[in-house]
Structure 1
Amino acid sequence: MVFVDKKVIAFALVAVAAILVIGVLVMLPKIEELKPVRKSAPLVNVSDYSYKVSVEKPELFFQELGDAKKAGEKTSTELTVYNQNLALVKEVREMFLESGVNLVEYKDIASQIDATSVLFRDLSFEDTIVLEQNYEFDIVSEAKMLEKYIDKEITVEVIEGDSTATFTGKLLNASDGLLLETGEGIVALSNISRISFPELPEGLITKPTLVWKIWTESTGKRNTQTVYLTSGMNWRADYVAKVNEEETAMDFSGWTTITNSSGTSYPNTKLKLVAGDIHLVSPVQPYPDRYYDYAEALGGAVPKAFTEEALFEYHLYTLDRTTDIKDNETKQISLLASENVPVQKEFVFDGAAQGNKVQVKLKFKNSEEQALGVPLPKGIVRVYKEDSSGQLQFLGEDSIDHTKTEDEVRLFVGNAFDVSGERIQTESVNVRKGVYLDSYEITLENQKDTEIEVVVVERIGPYATVTSNSDAFEKKSATEIEFTVKVPAKGEKTVSYTVETRYFF
């Protein structure tokens, strides 16, 4: 039997207790940080503000606005664009605030901003809180200036023959020409060459502005982050495929096309693109995409510029550098570039859906073994091939949906000129109540100098069974079968089958 000194046991218990106490003391601040906290607005008169500050983008020329102080050292901008005419803007700007209530005019924002989505954070002082927010978008124009100056004095110059005349008076009406009350009476003016206004009326602004009333206890400079959603921005993927002479491989490159009509520019911004269909309660209006021909870019591979990662159930593409995105601009940035991607040309005949036409498709697999293997955002693929003189010719285009890795892609390029098909129903018999036998015959004609392979697509009912067939077929689904057959050069091939269909009355 082993005996342990009671003093040793007591010492060990004290040591364990001390460790536990120290651990609790260390973790206590972190536990406190995780406690839910509700920020309460101070009881102040928001109309009685003590400081006014105008915050603009630093790369723009600052102008005084009344007694507003100039501020707005922007330290970073991040732009996340969705392919649903939507973008998330994140800006960090520096501003100086006084203790108390501050009136902040935050300028150079997107004119299509969703003002209800704005999130403001003071990154330097936790006590800062937004008391009120207004979105002012009454942009100055000649019509609005005239409307504001009804019953006020303006000066108007009009053309009278080879000279001009100047009239000063109170504006009475501006709906059809101008009606002025002058010292010599009321005059109606037309042929106006110039209108002079004494000042910019209150309520009119030169650019969309967020106006905040912000309260803080801390005086000084601080970094602030503003986050908001805006429409007027879209992106799409555009792909270029250049097939080789044998039509067995292709060079495949992708471009992102970003269109900005949000009402402001985003200089030196971190750009991220989200591929996927997010849910919106009120879908934004679709923005018309612009189409560009990338045939000139086929001369060589373009280095990959984006890093791809999974985000929730979507895919996020991050540009590895900053870029400038100007207002009313369409920008293209390389997404991927692969060479010698294996491709297979297919002839597909679906007589029930496309009449006598035989479609030409290019099939490839989005796998790493075939020099791809990255999620492909939805977009348009344009296909080119060199002619006998080495000049690129456009073959056709098709759209692809969001395509995950290891998926097979089929591009519909166009209809074959020298290959056609005909589908006829040769027999229909009512065997018994609710049971029918239908026979079909498909004739394929090939006027090319080489043998080709054609995929024949046939659709049958969900309660149908093929009872006889001239060629082997593959059942693709409960309602679709495919025959893959050879058609000789300058020859024909006939495919026939009979299907028994049950109907439940």
Structure 2
Amino acid sequence: MRRIVLGAALMAAAPIQAQQMVTSPAPTKVAVTIYRAPDRDAGQAIDPAWLRGYALISEEREVAIPAGDATIRFEGVAAGMMAETALVEGLGAGVSEKNLDAELLSPRNLYARVFGRPVTLRRTDAKGHTREEEAIIRSAPDGAAIVQTRAGFEIASCGGLKDAIAYDGLPEGLNARPTLSIATHAASAQKARVRLTYLAWGFDWQAHYVVKLAPGAQAAEMTAWVTLANGDTTGFAQAQAAVVGGKPKFEQSREEPAQTQELVLHCQLSPVQAPFGGEAMPVFAVPPAPPAPVVAMMADVVVTARKRMAPVVVKEEVLGDLRLYRVPMPTNVAAHGQKQVALMAARRVKLGLIHRADVDVAAQDGESQRARIRLRMANRKVDGLGLALPAGGVAVVQQVGAAALPVGEGAMADKAVGETANIEIGASPQVRLESRTRRINDREEAITATARNANRWPVHFESQQLLPDGARVVSASVKLGQQDGHPLWAVTIPAGGKVSLSYRLQLPR
């Protein structure tokens, strides 16, 4: 009699099928194109325990199709596959139906499938002595290993025993690997090279930029990395990997998989007659289970690099209104893992470091505020860029002697060629703005704004004048520009100095 033993390792024998069955164990080639989680902000880090993006997976497989009716099984597909999106190309035979057989062989599913049925409990004590006895699975489908033996109810592997549960066979419908099956009918036997394409949940990707400021903060060395994240139980070896920048419209056709939960049990020990005929062994009473905590999936982080060699740089391609960034060499997209590849090698770019504090006329009079520091870059070839930049986090460092010290961190939205990126990286305690308002009459106010710079170097300063609807500036001490429909004051504040702006504001009737 065949047995499946659940212990330190889980081994399963495939069930015997009476009908014609062909199994493709793995693809010969695979491509994984990852789309970002649609609701995750550019500066928000990937949560490896809850990946909400998706991937387009394309596999090539060689299949021997028998004559007549048959079932073709594609093993090793993504567990998060959306079976309704699966497209099978290259079959000479007709496809009558397809099914995602993704209920995997696991302790949880095995316990649930044999609930209330007898199993064999293989018990090993601290001295290494092993014996077998009959037991009945009494756990709930949550997966806790509660069994009933002649001694009573017990928790497997609790206390001084190491237990393994032996099953007489594999319950129907369980698979050791996620599997897509399709029914076919062929007039004669044939060999086919099949392409399987589908969407799957549980993936994500993130761009991250590192900007190393040059002295004077007028230029910088900029590098960029792409992190590929796979939260699926299936990994893809030597895959052609790519990521898509932008936000394509995607209608969710089903609920995302529920987050895994675990039942936690505690042992209460009391001595009973030893089952091995020697020392007394404990029986384990099952107390009420506490609330099930969320089980976090820990992701392994793998950084690709080659010693004394240039990094592999992602190549940009046009994909309609979106951008496709393709890794130029095969890479492993491991299950429950993350990997980093270079998006952009180190290049010198021009930039500006701007201190910004806006005047809100409706705010409290005389309030002093710290300026926010912004990094400004024009995405143009003449300034060292000129390529589509996907959204991501930005870390800014300053070289001080032999060390690169962090200056600030921010985020950048997707930027097309020709656009300007304003990246807020922190607040400055050295540059402050104070504004005061004086009422002239029912229709006019006088505003005075003063910006101070406590640094030992000059800074570029900007201040947008946020006016009430219908209000307008009738006169000002300096010429003002325009930004987003509001007057903009742009000036250089000398080291240790201050600058002022005065203007008269006409209010609406």
Alignment TM class, shorter chain as reference: 0.7 to 0.9
Question: Given the alignment of the two structures, is residue 442 of structure 1 paired with residue 449 of structure 2, yes or no?
Answer: yes
Task: Choose which of 75, 81, 95 in structure 2 pairs with 1:107.
Answer: 75
| Residues 341/172 of structure 1: CA separation in 2 closer, same or farther (3 Å cut) | closer
Q: Given that residues 158 and 190 in structure 1 are in contact (C-alpha distance below 8 angstroms), is that contact kept between their aligned partners in structure 2?
A: no
**Alignment RMSD (CA, Å):** 3.4
Q: What is aligned with 2:107?
A: 142
TM-score (norm 1): 0.76
Task: Choose which of 181, 185, 188 in structure 1 pairs with 2:152.
Answer: 188
Q: What is aligned with 1:429?
A: 441
Q: What is aligned with 1:394?
A: 406
Question: Given the alignment of the two structures, is residue 364 of structure 1 paired with residue 377 of structure 2, yes or no?
Answer: yes
Equivalent-residue separation in structure 2 for 1:342 and 1:154 (angstroms):
70
Task: Choose which of 395, 398, 403 in structure 2 pairs with 1:385.
Answer: 398
Q: What is aligned with 1:214?
A: 184
SS at structure 2 position matched to 1:202: coil
Q: What is aligned with 1:485?
A: 491
CA shift at 1:379, angstroms? Answer: 0.6
CA shift at 1:395, angstroms? Answer: 0.8
CA shift at 1:380, angstroms? Answer: 0.9
CA shift at 1:391, angstroms? Answer: 0.5
Question: Given the alignment of the two structures, is residue 451 of structure 1 paired with residue 458 of structure 2, yes or no?
Answer: yes
| Residues 198/292 of structure 1: CA separation in 2 closer, same or farther (3 Å cut) | closer
| Residues 359/161 of structure 1: CA separation in 2 closer, same or farther (3 Å cut) | closer
Could you list the runs of 5+ residues in structure 2 that have no partner in the other structure? 1-10, 38-52, 157-162, 260-296
Question: Given the alignment of the two structures, is residue 331 of structure 1 paired with residue 339 of structure 2, yes or no?
Answer: yes
Equivalent positions of 1:224-235 (< 5 A) are 224-235=194-205
Q: Comparing 147-156 with 305-314, which one deviates more in the overlay?
A: 147-156
Question: Given the alignment of the two structures, is residue 87 of structure 1 paired with residue 55 of structure 2, yes or no?
Answer: yes
Equivalent-residue separation in structure 2 for 1:73 and 1:161 (angstroms):
41
Q: Given that residues 430 and 454 in structure 2 are in contact (C-alpha distance below 8 angstroms), is that contact kept between their aligned partners in structure 1?
A: yes
Question: Given the alignment of the two structures, is residue 502 of structure 1 paired with residue 508 of structure 2, yes or no?
Answer: yes
CA shift at 1:309, angstroms? Answer: 2.1
| Residues 217/501 of structure 1: CA separation in 2 closer, same or farther (3 Å cut) | farther
**Higher Rg:** 1
Q: Given that residues 410 and 426 in structure 2 are in contact (C-alpha distance below 8 angstroms), is that contact kept between their aligned partners in structure 1?
A: no
For residues 464-492 of structure 1, the C-alpha deviation after alignment (integer angstroms, 9 at most, x for no partner) is 221121221102233x1111223333332
| Residues 195/304 of structure 1: CA separation in 2 closer, same or farther (3 Å cut) | closer
CA shift at 1:165, angstroms? Answer: 7.9
Q: Which amino acid is the alignment partner of residue 418 of structure 2?
A: E
Q: Which amino acid is the alignment partner of residue 204 of structure 2?
A: N
Equivalent-residue separation in structure 2 for 1:253 and 1:443 (angstroms):
37
Q: Which amino acid is the alignment partner of residue 392 of structure 1?
A: A
| Residues 86/248 of structure 1: CA separation in 2 closer, same or farther (3 Å cut) | same
Q: Which amino acid is the alignment partner of residue 189 of structure 2?
A: T
Could you list the runs of 5+ residues in structure 1 that have no partner in the other structure? 1-60, 181-185, 431-435
Question: Given the alignment of the two structures, is residue 179 of structure 1 paired with residue 185 of structure 2, yes or no?
Answer: no
For residues 412-460 of structure 1, the C-alpha deviation after alignment (integer angstroms, 9 at most, x for no partner) is 1222222211122222632xxxxx3232221112222333332121112
For residues 76-111 of structure 1, the C-alpha deviation after alignment (integer angstroms, 9 at most, x for no partner) is 211111112011001010011112111122110111
Q: What is aligned with 2:425?
A: 413
| Residues 213/402 of structure 1: CA separation in 2 closer, same or farther (3 Å cut) | same
Q: Which amino acid is the alignment partner of residue 232 of structure 1?
A: G
Percent same amino acid among aligned pairs? 20
Q: Given that residues 250 and 342 in structure 1 are in contact (C-alpha distance below 8 angstroms), is that contact kept between their aligned partners in structure 2?
A: yes
Q: Given that residues 75 and 180 in structure 2 are in contact (C-alpha distance below 8 angstroms), is that contact kept between their aligned partners in structure 1?
A: yes
Q: Which amino acid is the alignment partner of residue 89 of structure 1?
A: I
For residues 376-396 of structure 1, the C-alpha deviation after alignment (integer angstroms, 9 at most, x for no partner) is 011111111111x32010111
Equivalent-residue separation in structure 1 for 2:480 and 2:205 (angstroms):
42
| Residues 292/457 of structure 1: CA separation in 2 closer, same or farther (3 Å cut) | farther
Q: Which amino acid is the alignment partner of residue 498 of structure 2?
A: E
SS at structure 2 position matched to 1:383: strand
Question: Given the alignment of the two structures, is residue 66 of structure 1 paired with residue 16 of structure 2, yes or no?
Answer: yes
Q: Which amino acid is the alignment partner of residue 399 of structure 2?
A: E
Q: What is aligned with 2:206?
A: 236
Q: What is aligned with 1:22?
A: none
CA shift at 1:409, angstroms? Answer: 1.5
CA shift at 1:499, angstroms? Answer: 1.5
SS at structure 2 position matched to 1:440: strand
SS at structure 1 position matched to 2:111: helix
| Residues 62/226 of structure 1: CA separation in 2 closer, same or farther (3 Å cut) | farther
Equivalent-residue separation in structure 2 for 1:107 and 1:245 (angstroms):
56
For residues 362-412 of structure 1, the C-alpha deviation after alignment (integer angstroms, 9 at most, x for no partner) is 22211111221000011111111111x320101111111110111112221
| Residues 322/65 of structure 1: CA separation in 2 closer, same or farther (3 Å cut) | farther
CA shift at 1:322, angstroms? Answer: 1.7
CA shift at 1:70, angstroms? Answer: 5.3
| Residues 63/484 of structure 1: CA separation in 2 closer, same or farther (3 Å cut) | same
Question: Given the alignment of the two structures, is residue 476 of structure 1 paired with residue 499 of structure 2, yes or no?
Answer: no
CA shift at 1:340, angstroms? Answer: 2.5
Equivalent-residue separation in structure 1 for 2:119 and 2:374 (angstroms):
69
Question: Given the alignment of the two structures, is residue 119 of structure 1 paired with residue 87 of structure 2, yes or no?
Answer: yes
Q: Higher RCO, 1 or 2 (CA under 8 Å, sep at least 6)?
A: 2
Q: What is aligned with 2:386?
A: 373
Higher helix share: 1
Task: Choose which of 262, 277, 280 in structure 1 pairs with 2:250.
Answer: 280
Task: Choose which of 315, 328, 342 in structure 2 pairs with 1:320.
Answer: 328
Q: Given that residues 24 and 73 in structure 2 are in contact (C-alpha distance below 8 angstroms), is that contact kept between their aligned partners in structure 1?
A: no
Q: Which amino acid is the alignment partner of residue 102 of structure 2?
A: F
Question: Given the alignment of the two structures, is residue 131 of structure 1 paired with residue 96 of structure 2, yes or no?
Answer: yes
TM-score (norm 2): 0.75
CA shift at 1:279, angstroms? Answer: 0.8
CA shift at 1:500, angstroms? Answer: 1.2
Matched residues, number: 426
Q: Comparing 104-113 with 204-213, which one deviates more in the overlay?
A: 204-213
